[in-house]
Amino acid sequence: MLEKDYYRLHDDKTIPLYWSAPEWNTTKNVSHKSDVWSFGVVLWEMFSNGSDPKMKCESAKEFFMKECWNAEKEKRPSFTQCKEKFIQSLMSERCAHDTHRSLLTSLATLRGPRGDILTNGVGHGTAVARLPGQTGGSVTEVITDLSTSDKTTNTNRYSLVLSETSLQIFLDKNIGKGAFGDILMGRFESRDVAVKKCRNASEYQRFEREFEILCKLKRKQHHPNIVEFIGLYDLKDPTICYVYVMEYAENKSLVKFLTSRPEPVMVHQKLKLLKDAAHGMQFIFENNIIHCDLTAENILVKADLTALISDFGWAKELETDVEDFTYMRSNPKTKILWSAPEVLQSKYSKFTDNWSYGVVCCEVFLDGKQPGFDDSAAGNKDEAEIYWQKINQGQRFPCPELCPKEIYDDVMLRCWEKDFMKRIHFHDIVTYIGSWLENHPS
C-alpha cells in the first residue's frame, strides 16, 4: 500500500487519512472528540491484529469502536466514558484473549484533554517499574499490563504499587473512617502509615481521583503541608476495590486534635496550624486544583504539630490557570457551613476554597466546634436555609472570642468576600499570619 493511500496534505501538513474525524473535511474545527474518533481506529487496528484500516473488521460490532465513529462529535463518548467501558470490557468475554487484554490495558496510558488517565492501571498481574528517584525495592510505579509479567517501563504513570513484603497492615487497628471506608494502621519501611480502603465500587472514581491528585502533587514536589501519598496496595479481598497508603498523622484530624487536648490549644499554636494549612492550600492553588471539601476535619495534624491538607475525593483539577475561571458541578455534595455563595449555583472557582478556609479559621478558634449564626428567630427554617439567607444578606460568622481581631478583619472577612476575585490569596494569608506571629511573640 502506497503512503499516499494513508496520508494526505492539509494546509501544508501531512495528516493521517483513515484516522481523521469527518470534521477535518468540513469545518476543520477539531477538538478532543476528534481524538476519540482516531482512538476508535486504533482499537480497530488492535482487534484486527494490525490489519489494513481499509479492511472489514467484525470485531467493531462487538466492541465500542462504532460509538467513537459517530458523525456528530458531540455524541461520541468522552475519554472518561471510554475509561468506564475499558473497565467493563477488561473483565468480559469479549476481551478474554490475552493479547487483546494486554494491548487494551497498554492503551490505558492514553490521556484525556486534561491529562487524565483513562484506566486506573491496577489489577491482577500488574507489571511494575521503578519510580525515578526512589531507592530500595519496595515502591514501584504501576504500568499497564494486567495480564502478563512484561516489565516494560512507563515513567509517565502516576500511581504506585507497594510490594507485598514491604507493607504490614494491622486489620484490627481501625484509626478512622473516611468517605470510602475504614482507615487502618499500617507499617511501611519502619514508619507508621495509614491505609485507606475503598469498599464500594460506586465510589471508586472519587477514590481514584483522590490518590491520582495526591500522587501528581507529590511528583511535582513533596510538600510539607500536603498529606503524602505513598502507594497503592492490593489486599486481594474481592469485597474491596483497592487501598492506598498515605502518611500517618499521629494527632488525627484538626478537629480531633483541638477537642481532645486536656488544655486548650494556645492562640500562637492555632495560628501556626492555620499558617501550615494556608501554605498547603497555596500549593494546591498554584497547581490549578480546587479542593472543594476544605474543613478542619479534612486537615490532619502530625506529632510535631505540622498541619496536612488531606481528603481530595471531591477535588477538581482545572484545565486552565486563569484566575477567574469557573466550572459547574452537577449535584455537588456540599457542606453548607463551609460553602461559598457561588456554590449555591453549583459553581466553583479557584477561590472557592479560600471562603472555606475562613470557616476553618472559625473552627480552630472555636476549639473544633462548628460556627453558626444566631438562629433564635429562625422558626422552622433548616440550617441550609438560615445559612444562605444570612450570607445573601451580607452577614458573616461572628469573630470567635479568642480570635485576634486583626486575623478576623484582615484574613477571615477577606476570605468571605462575595465576589470571589476579591478574596485574599493563600500566599497573602501565609505572609500575614507569619508577620502577626513575628510581631506578637508568645
**pLDDT band, very low/low/confident/very high, at 191 (cuts 50, 70, 90):** very high
The dihedral formed by the CA atoms of 195, 196, 198 and 203, expressed in degrees to the nearest 10? -160
**pLDDT band, very low/low/confident/very high, at 381 (cuts 50, 70, 90):** confident
% of the chain residues with pLDDT over 70: 67
Q: Which comes out higher in pLDDT, residue 141 or 359?
A: 359
Cell numbers standing for residue 160: 504506585
Q: What are residue 10's phi and psi, to 5 degrees?
A: -145, 115
> What is the C-alpha separation between 92 and 117, in angstroms, rounded?
21
Domains of the chain: 3-109 (1.10.510.10), 158-247 (3.30.200.20), 254-439 (1.10.510.10)
Residue 201: what pLDDT?
A: 73
Cell numbers standing for residue 119: 484506566
CB 158 within 8 A of CB 167: no
pLDDT above 90: residue 427: yes
**Closest residue by Cα to residue 281 from 265, 262, 295:** 295
Cell numbers standing for residue 379: 422558626
Residue 34: what pLDDT?
A: 82
**pLDDT band, very low/low/confident/very high, at 73 (cuts 50, 70, 90):** confident
**pLDDT band, very low/low/confident/very high, at 176 (cuts 50, 70, 90):** confident
pLDDT above 90: residue 304: yes
> What is the C-alpha separation between 154 and 382, in angstroms, rounded?
52
For residue 33, CA distances in Å to 36, 79, 113, 150, 329 come to 5, 8, 9, 32, 21
* pLDDT tens digits, one per residue of 9-35: 445 555 566 778 888 777 666 777 888
- Greatest mean pLDDT among 6-20, 199-213, 297-311 lies in 297-311
- Greatest mean pLDDT among 140-149, 157-166, 275-284 lies in 275-284
Cell numbers standing for residue 13: 501538513
CB 353 within 8 A of CB 281: yes
> What is the C-alpha separation between 394 and 434, in angstroms, rounded?
29
CB 321 within 8 A of CB 263: no
The dihedral formed by the CA atoms of 400, 403, 404 and 408, expressed in degrees to the nearest 10? -60
Residue 361: what pLDDT?
A: 98
Residue 276: what pLDDT?
A: 98
Section 134-152 average pLDDT? 33
Determine the number of helices (DSSP H) and then strands (DSSP E) in the chain.
12, 16
DSSP 121: -
CB 317 within 8 A of CB 289: yes
Mean pLDDT over each residue of the chain, to the nearest integer: 76
**pLDDT band, very low/low/confident/very high, at 239 (cuts 50, 70, 90):** low
Section 136-150 average pLDDT? 33
- Greatest mean pLDDT among 53-57, 75-79, 95-99, 182-186 lies in 182-186
Cell numbers standing for residue 440: 506578637
* pLDDT tens digits, one per residue of 240-295: 666 889 999 999 999 999 999 999 999 999 999 999 999 999 999 999 999 999 99
Any binding-site annotation on 256? no
Section 318-342 average pLDDT? 77
- Amino acid identity of residue 261, one-letter, is R
Residue 233: is it exposed, middle or buried by C-beta count within 10 angstroms (0-12/13-18/19+)?
Answer: buried
